[in-house]
Every structure is written in structure tokens, then in C-alpha cells.
Amino acid sequence: MPSNTETGRGGRPALPIVNGAPRRGRSQPSDIAQLGAMGKAFSILEIIAAARQPLSMAEIVRASGLTKPTAHRITSALADMGFIDRDSLKRGFIEGPRLITLSLNTLGAAAPRNLRHTILQALSEAIGETCNFGILVGSEVMYLDRVEAKWPLGLRFEAGSRVPVHCTAIGKLLLSQLPLRERSDVVNSIPLTRYTARTLVDRAHLSDALEKIRASRVGIDDQEFIEGVVCVSVPIIADTGQVVGGIAVSAPEARVSLDQALKFVPQMRESAARLAATFRFRRDGE
């Protein structure tokens, strides 16, 4: 498995990177032994949070330097607490809802979480429809925030809800922005469950749709997830160029057609830019 070494803050050498996760290795048994149960748990959380794909137990053992029984015991406890989770394809461990919530609550002192909610709420009030903020978690989308429109025909999803990637506007958008190989792996692995008559359940057709979305950077859900509901999404792109999530507008098709929803895109892009400004990522040397 390929690895490389990154430089930590202050010029200190960081741990080697394996599969996107810091690797501690077995060359430091005394350090591992001195961590204690809490330290070992945080070590595993750090490894999983830094990984670019689900990690198997064997990969966690290699990256952490822990024995297999110890790693298994700690990951089981973290999973029971909701800090880590199995990805939907059971390929390995990913960050869980409690870890995501914890991360969001501490993300960027200059841009508290309520500022993002305010931006989303302002967009919802300006266009009069429900707005979502979601991220890609494994092979699903997790809603991190949501502002419901003040209409009788509302769509009730709570923050923390997970929805499929292949038939939702945010899901297809974020999936389209992945590197081609990674995107293909997901498309070829996930179950393409049919939710409505319009759900794309043919992998070739889904791949073609993702190519178009990648070019336009506008995700659409034309009654593909919920009958009678349309949705449009745009990416949130940080100043590093990283797509950190997406925002979407959803509405009953009886009130807003897909063509009408697409007219919201300019306002959505403006809100996405304001949301992106709330994410600050430290670059090397800063």
C-alpha cells in the first residue's frame, strides 16, 4: 500500500500517511502502550477522519499500531456510541454522525455554525422554498442543516438524516465531483434502488447523467427520490478548490416545476459562495 510523509505544524514531521490516514506503525510500541483507552480511541478517530475511503479493520490495525483485539474492542465501542459507522456497502469504517456533529461544532472559530444556518435561512426566505445543506458520507448524503419553507406542502427531514446518492440532487452533484475512478467504484457498487418511476436504476444512464452534472455543476432530482418533488443543487467550493458540500432547494412539483427551480440557481450560487467563505482550511506554511 503506498505511503508518504507530510510535514506537521511548526515544521515537525507528521506521521506517515497510509490510504489517507496517519500511520503510527508498530515501531512505537511504548507510545501506543502509554496512550490509555481514551488515547487509543482518539487515535482511531483521527485515522478514520483523515481517511479518503472506508477503512477495514486490518487497515486500522496497521495505521494505529494497535493489536487486533484492542483495535476491534475500541472500534466496536466507538461504533456503539455513534462516533464511527460502517459505510452502507459494508466495506469498512467511516465517520459516524456524532463525530460529524462534533467536527462541525468546532469547525472554524471565525465562522460559527449559526452563521451557516443564517445564510441558508436567508436563501429559503428569498426564494420561498425549503433549502438543505448536505455532505457526502460514504455512499450516502447526510443533511447537516435544513430550513423548511413556510408552506402547507412541506418536506420533513431532520438534520442528520441520510439519503441515497443516486437519486437526490445533492447526492448526484457530490458524486459527480469525485475523481472518475472513485465515482465509478461507487456507481458500480451501490444498490440502485428504485424509489419512483423516474429513478435512474441503469448504471450507464446514471454515469451519463453524472457527466452532465459534473460539467454544469448543477444537480437535479426530477421526482427521482420522492414522487411529486423536484430538487436542484449547487456545490459549496472552499477557497482551496475543495467541494465541501452542497446546498439544494426542494419543492413539490405541484407548486414549482423543475424549470422554475433551475431559475433559483444564480441565487443559490451566491449563497453557496457565502457558505464557502465560512470554511477555512489551513495551508502548509500558514
pLDDT in tens, 185-196: 889 989 999 999
Contact 245, 107 (CB under 8 A): no
Asked if residue 94 belongs to a domain, the reply is yes
Give CA–CA dist 9/220, Å, rounded.
Answer: 41
Backbone angles phi, psi at 75, to 5 degrees: -65, -35
Pick from 70, 102, 134: which residue ends a domain? 102
Looking at residue 139, what is its pLDDT? 79
Task: Indicate the DSSP class of residue 282.
Answer: P
Domain boundary among 49, 79, 102: 102
- Grid cell of 38 as nine digits: 481514551
For residues 132 and 90, membership in a common domain is answered with no
The answer to whether position 27 is within a domain reads yes
Same domain, 144 and 7: no
Domain match, 62 and 117 both: no
Whole-number pLDDT of residue 112: 53
Tell me, yes or no, whether 152 lies in a domain.
yes
- Based on the domain organization, do 51 and 160 belong to the same domain? no
Is 284 part of a structural domain of the chain?
no
| Structural domain count of the chain | 2
Full domain range(s) for residue 40: 3-102
Record the cell numbers describing residue 220, joined without a space. Answer: 437535479
Same domain flag for 118 and 238: yes
282 within domain boundaries: no
Distance (Å, rounded) from C-alpha 31 to C-alpha 65? 10
| Whether residues 39 and 113 fall in one domain | no
- Verify that 97 and 160 share a domain, yes or no: no
User: What per-residue confidence (pLDDT) applies to 233?
Assistant: 97
Q: Which of 51, 78, 102 is the last residue of a domain?
A: 102
Same domain for 79 and 157? Answer: no
Between CA 235 and CA 243, with CA 237 as vertex, the angle to 5 degrees is: 75
- Residue 283 maps to a domain: no
Question: Where are any strands of DSSP class E within 32-88?
Answer: 84-86
**Cell output for 3:** 505511503
Domain match, 41 and 163 both:
no
Other C-beta atoms lying within 10 Å of the C-beta of residue 175: 25
Q: Among residues 188, 100, 82, 92, which one has the least CA distance to residue 136?
A: 100
Q: For the domain that residue 69 is a member of, what is the CATH number?
A: 1.10.10.10
Q: Please report the pLDDT score of residue 14 as a whole number.
A: 35
Enumerate residue ranges in the chain where pLDDT < 50: 1-30, 108-111, 282-286
Q: Which long-range contacts (CB under 8 A, 24 or more apart) does 37-43 make?
A: 37/74, 40/64, 40/66, 40/70, 40/74, 41/74, 41/77, 41/78
Residue 281 included in any domain: no
Instruction: Say yes or no: 73 and 91 in one domain.
Output: yes
Residue 190 lies in a domain: yes
CATH of the domain at 186: 3.30.450.40
Residues 11 and 130 in one domain: no
150 plus 43 within the same structural domain = no
Please give the grid coordinates belonging to residue 117. Answer: 444556518
